[in-house]
């Protein structure tokens, strides 16, 4: 019986032939669900990690002290923004390079003016910092830059910056001859209020010191075009006519140094200064506020006396007013006089003399500083070394007009005006003392001594004669004088007995005096009666009165 074909049996199929069937629709097994879920999760983590990672930067440090790959963090305001991934030594072995991976939200830190440093415990002029790392370990600090230029390699700072970019204020540049006791972190004062700090210092191409200071806002508005800066380091001790003055800003400046500034009282009020304005840094307030000196005139003075005690920088004054300073001191051999002279080169500021230009060519107000000083020399200007301090023996150069010196014409030496000199007061005193000693040396002390010996011998003979006379008087005249004194004593004793109160002479005298008083009384009565009865002299006494 023929086989009945089924619906799935292909047509024209003979009985017994193999039949091809279409496979049924396949459904996945639940076993495959687990790896699929794991793959999706892994991909999600990878994508999240890829999106969360920021740029990779490299920072060079002198040493890797405190750094550890895979552990040391990069922090900005105590927030983690990256981590050190690897540390390697540079090819020249002069520094190390830390490879750091920043987070995605910290990509803005990878710009050219960002600064990085290792935060660890430090003691500096600005104070103690990084004490928190004693427990948590060192980390890399960041000062965010503001540039738009991207950068991937940085040179790390060895010390933390004093001022970060987000601190409001201004920086100013100070130029000085030397740094003094200033250091990074030294305070900046305005009216003895701490308003900023020294942030950097360096030497310029001319060898002068350049100091950068930062003044915080809003105090930066007090820095104007009329401001003047000076060293306020240490203690300034000054002795003048008003007594002893001790000047200092604060105890911090004595130990760490500092800078102070004020507006100059000699200038009109100025406008607020711009960022990076340049100022001169004076040594003290007097130097900061002094008037502009104008053009200086270099002059030379040849001294023949010792200049011990005179040093470069010593003042040159005119009647107590400082008009310049000593620049250098040397020694030269004068072949004409076969002697040594000591040239002293000075810088003098004629403007400090208070003179102005005049139309009169013969006046002291010459049209040029050199001509002015030549005119003063013709009028008798001379240089003299004087003692400025009796304790230290320091000398200074004094310019004044010599009254008894003949006028001189100022010459030139190596392009410098020559100022005639005269001996110092102390040297003149020494010269006068030497003259006195010479005159004393000419006195014939030997002849005077011989005459004095002869005179003393005569005096001794005279004294011997006087001694013999005294002895003769003592032996002959003295006994007679003693007897006379004894007689005088007896006479005085007799007189004393005569004039004593109970002596007979005294009693007789008193009796006589009483009688005399009685007689005087009777005469007084008679006189009174005759005055009343003058007729009794002729008629006698009336009978009724008898």
| 371-385 tens-digit pLDDT | 777 777 778 888 888
Percent of the chain with pLDDT over 70: 70
User: Which of the four pLDDT bands, split at 50, 70 and 90, describes residue 493?
Assistant: confident
C-alpha 58: how far from chain center? 47
Residue at token pair 């307030």: 285
How many whole angstroms separate alpha carbon 16 and alpha carbon 217?
105
According to the model, what pLDDT value does residue 222 have?
93
Are 341 and 304 contacting, i.e. CB atoms less than 8 angstroms apart?
Answer: yes
Percent of the chain with pLDDT over 90: 13
How many whole angstroms separate alpha carbon 55 and alpha carbon 460?
122
Tell the burial category of 395 from Cβ atoms under 10 Å away from its Cβ (0-12, 13-18, 19+): buried
As a whole number, mean pLDDT of residues 124-134 equals 64
How many whole angstroms separate alpha carbon 484 and alpha carbon 453?
45
**ω before 12 within 30° of 0 (cis)?**
no
CB atoms within 10 A of CB 382: 18
| Beta-ladder partners of 19 | none
According to the model, what pLDDT value does residue 367 have?
47
User: Which of the four pLDDT bands, split at 50, 70 and 90, describes residue 359?
Assistant: very low
| 335-345 tens-digit pLDDT | 887 788 889 99
As a whole number, mean pLDDT of residues 185-208 equals 89
**More confident position, 516 or 398:** 398
Are 389 and 315 contacting, i.e. CB atoms less than 8 angstroms apart?
Answer: no
Res. 175: pLDDT tops 90: yes
Are 389 and 314 contacting, i.e. CB atoms less than 8 angstroms apart?
Answer: no
First to last CA, the chain: 248
How many whole angstroms separate alpha carbon 313 and alpha carbon 316?
9
**Cα–Cα distance list, 507 to 285, 372, 492, 520 (Å):** 106, 113, 21, 20
Considering only 10-19, 64-73, 123-132, 136-145, which range has the smallest mean pLDDT?
10-19
Residues contacting residue 206 through CB under 8 Å, at least 6 positions apart: none
Considering only 244-248, 313-317, 350-354, 461-465, which range has the smallest mean pLDDT?
244-248
Instruction: Report CA dihedral (268, 271, 277, 279) to the nearest 10 degrees.
Output: 20
Are 272 and 197 contacting, i.e. CB atoms less than 8 angstroms apart?
Answer: no
Does residue 505 sit in helix, strand or coil?
A: helix
How many whole angstroms separate alpha carbon 41 and alpha carbon 26?
26
| Residue 238 structure tokens | 């000054």
User: Which of the four pLDDT bands, split at 50, 70 and 90, describes residue 364?
Assistant: very low
Give the containing element (helix H, strand E) for 434: helix 425-441
How many whole angstroms separate alpha carbon 170 and alpha carbon 465?
106
User: Which of the four pLDDT bands, split at 50, 70 and 90, describes residue 212?
Assistant: very high
Res. 236: pLDDT tops 70: no
According to the model, what pLDDT value does residue 360 have?
38
**More confident position, 304 or 236:** 304
Which phi and psi (to 5°) does residue 219 adopt? -70, -15
User: Which of the four pLDDT bands, split at 50, 70 and 90, describes residue 306?
Assistant: confident
As a whole number, mean pLDDT of residues 149-176 equals 88
As a whole number, mean pLDDT of residues 52-70 equals 86
Tell the burial category of 72 from Cβ atoms under 10 Å away from its Cβ (0-12, 13-18, 19+): buried
According to the model, what pLDDT value does residue 361 have?
37
How many whole angstroms separate alpha carbon 333 and alpha carbon 414?
15
Query: Closest by alpha carbon to 304, among 345, 344, 347?
Result: 344
| 257-276 tens-digit pLDDT | 789 999 988 788 889 999 99
Residue by residue, DSSP assigns 304-358 as -S--TT--TT-EEEETTEEEEEEEEE--EEETTTTEEEEEEEEEE-GGGGT----
According to the model, what pLDDT value does residue 262 have?
92
How many whole angstroms separate alpha carbon 290 and alpha carbon 313?
17
Tell the burial category of 419 from Cβ atoms under 10 Å away from its Cβ (0-12, 13-18, 19+): buried
Give residue 416's region: left, alpha or beta (phi > 0; psi -120 to 50): beta
Does residue 230 sit in helix, strand or coil?
A: strand
According to the model, what pLDDT value does residue 303 have?
87
**More confident position, 22 or 36:** 36
Interstrand relation of 297-303 and 416-418 (parallel, antiparallel or unpaired): parallel
According to the model, what pLDDT value does residue 527 have?
77
SS3 letters for 31-77?
HHHHHHHHHHHHHHHHHHHHHHEEEEEEEEECCCCCCCCCCCEEEEC
How many whole angstroms separate alpha carbon 345 and alpha carbon 330?
8
* DSSP one-letter code for 284: S
According to the model, what pLDDT value does residue 16 have?
59
Tell the burial category of 52 from Cβ atoms under 10 Å away from its Cβ (0-12, 13-18, 19+): exposed
What mean pLDDT value characterizes the chain? 77
According to the model, what pLDDT value does residue 86 have?
92
């Amino acid at each position: 019986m023929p086989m009945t074909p089924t619906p799935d049996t292909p047509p024209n199929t003979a009985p017994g032939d193999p039949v091809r069937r279409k496979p049924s629709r396949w459904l996945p097994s639940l076993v495959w669900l687990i790896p699929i879920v794991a793959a999706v999760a892994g991909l999600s983590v990878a994508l999240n990690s890829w999106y969360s990672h920021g740029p990779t930067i490299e920072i060079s440090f002198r040493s890797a002290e405190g750094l550890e790959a895979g552990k040391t963090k990069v922090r900005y305001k105590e927030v983690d923004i990256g981590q050190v991934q690897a540390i390697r030594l540079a090819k020249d072995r002069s520094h190390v390079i830390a490879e750091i991976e920043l987070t995605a939200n910290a990509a803005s830190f990878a710009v050219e003016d960002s600064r990085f440093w290792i935060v660890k415990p430090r003691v500096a002029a600005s104070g103690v910092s990084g004490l928190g790392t004693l427990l948590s370990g060192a980390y890399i600090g960041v000062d965010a830059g503001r540039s738009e230029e991207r950068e991937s390699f940085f040179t790390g700072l060895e010390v933390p910056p004093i001022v970060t970019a987000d601190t409001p204020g201004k920086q100013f540049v100070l130029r000085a001859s030397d740094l003094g006791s200033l250091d990074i972190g030294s305070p900046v004062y305005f009216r003895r209020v701490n308003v900023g700090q020294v942030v950097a210092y360096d030497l310029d191409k001319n060898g002068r010191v350049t100091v950068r200071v930062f003044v915080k806002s809003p105090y930066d508005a007090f820095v104007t075009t009329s401001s003047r800066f000076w060293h306020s380091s240490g203690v300034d001790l000054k002795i003048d006519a008003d007594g002893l003055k001790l000047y200092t800003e604060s105890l911090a400046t004595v130990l760490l140094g500092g800078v102070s500034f004020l507006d100059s009282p000699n200038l009109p009020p100025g406008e607020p200064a711009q960022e990076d304005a340049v100022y001169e840094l004076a040594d003290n307030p007097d130097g900061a506020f002094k008037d502009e000196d104008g053009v200086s005139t270099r002059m030379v003075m040849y001294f023949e006396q010792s200049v011990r005690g005179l040093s470069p920088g010593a003042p040159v004054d005119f009647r107590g007013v400082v008009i310049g300073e000593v620049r250098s001191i040397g020694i030269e051999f004068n072949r004409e006089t076969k002697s040594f002279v000591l040239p002293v080169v000075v810088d003098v500021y004629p403007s400090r003399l208070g003179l102005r230009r005049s139309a009169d060519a013969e006046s002291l107000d010459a049209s040029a500083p050199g001509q002015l000083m030549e005119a003063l020399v013709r009028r008798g200007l001379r240089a003299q070394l004087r003692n400025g301090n009796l304790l230290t023996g320091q000398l200074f150069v004094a310019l004044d007009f010599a009254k008894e010196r003949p006028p001189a014409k100022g010459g030139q030496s190596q392009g410098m005006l020559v100022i005639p000199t005269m001996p110092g007061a102390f040297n003149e005193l020494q010269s006068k003392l030497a003259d006195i000693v010479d005159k004393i040396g000419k006195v014939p002390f030997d002849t005077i001594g011989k005459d004095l010996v002869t005179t003393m011998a005569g005096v001794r003979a005279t004294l011997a004669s006087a001694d013999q006379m005294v002895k003769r008087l003592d032996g002959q005249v003295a006994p007679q004088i003693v007897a006379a004194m004894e007689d005088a004593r007896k006479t005085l004793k007799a007189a004393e007995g005569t004039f004593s109160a109970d002596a007979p002479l005294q009693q007789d005298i008193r009796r006589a005096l009483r009688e005399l008083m009685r007689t005087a009384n009777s005469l007084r009565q008679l006189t009174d009666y005759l005055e009343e009865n003058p007729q009794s002299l002729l008629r006698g006494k009336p009978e009724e009165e008898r």
